[in-house]
Amino acid sequence: MTETVVFAVFAIAAIAGGLVMVGARNPVYSAMGLLTTMFSMAVFYVLNDAHFVAAVQVIVYAGAVMTLFLFVIMLIGVDREDDRTERLPRQRPLALLLGLGLLALVLVAARAAWITGFGIFTGSPVNGTIENVADELFGTWMIPFQATVLLLTIAAVGTVALAQFGSRPPRVRSQNEGPQ
């Protein structure tokens, strides 16, 4: 019963956060909406006994990634709103239509397996403590873990390279690519 109430509340919060993120004019509001969704996700992880993953969600996503996003938003300028002039007519309604179609497709195609198929949770409970996660991560999944280390290193080096090479050539602006 408790799980039902918590799920309902945070499901509404997650969906509202997503809608705010997509709809807000100011990018800061978008970031706040996404933050709401991220925290709701952490709550769902706790409901599913994934405690360590919930902590990682809050620390890495809601903490680090969203801070990075807000930092870049502030750097680029918050006072500037999107110009909503549409260059491609009919694109926005078409996009909304495609989104609704995708939703209908996903829900209909998988309804049989999701809503009726699984029933209540039947698997033997897995407690996602740090110990259980680490046993599996540093045992069976050691090589993929090392690969992610490599990936993070490559990403860091690539970011530094982008910052370096992006600033080297002198800024030459031709007529047609000035600020709009």
Question: According to CB under 8 A, which residues from 95 to 134 bind other proteins?
Answer: 95-96, 98-99, 102-103, 106-107, 110, 114-126, 128, 132-133
Using CB under 8 A as the binding criterion, the count of chain residues that bind other proteins stands at: 87
Q: Does 163 interact with other proteins (rule: CB under 8 A)?
A: yes
Within positions 10 to 29, which residues make up the interface with other proteins, using CB under 8 A?
Answer: 11, 14-15, 18-19, 21-22, 27
Within positions 49 to 78, which residues make up the interface with other proteins, using CB under 8 A?
Answer: 49-50, 52-53, 56-57, 60-61, 64-65, 68-69, 72-73, 75-76
List Cα–Cα distances, 132 to 9, 49, 51, 52, 148, in angstroms: 29, 12, 11, 9, 20
Q: How far is the CB of 22 from other proteins (least distance, A)?
A: 4
- Among 82, 89, 143, 170, which residue sits at the site for other proteins (rule: CB under 8 A)? 82
* Closer residue to other proteins (CB): 92 or 175: 92
Distance (Å, rounded) from C-alpha 1 to C-alpha 125? Answer: 18
Instruction: DSSP for 72-137, please give it.
Output: HHHHH-SSPPPP---SSTTHHHHHHHHHHHHHHHHHHHHHIIIIIIS-S--SPP----HHHHHHHH
Q: Cα Rg for the chain, rounded, in angstroms?
A: 22
**Amino acid in the structure at residue 146:** Q
Q: How far is the CB of 133 from other proteins (least distance, A)?
A: 6
Nearest residue to 130 via CA among 13, 51, 38: 51
Q: How far is the CB of 41 from other proteins (least distance, A)?
A: 5
* Closer residue to other proteins (CB): 79 or 163: 163
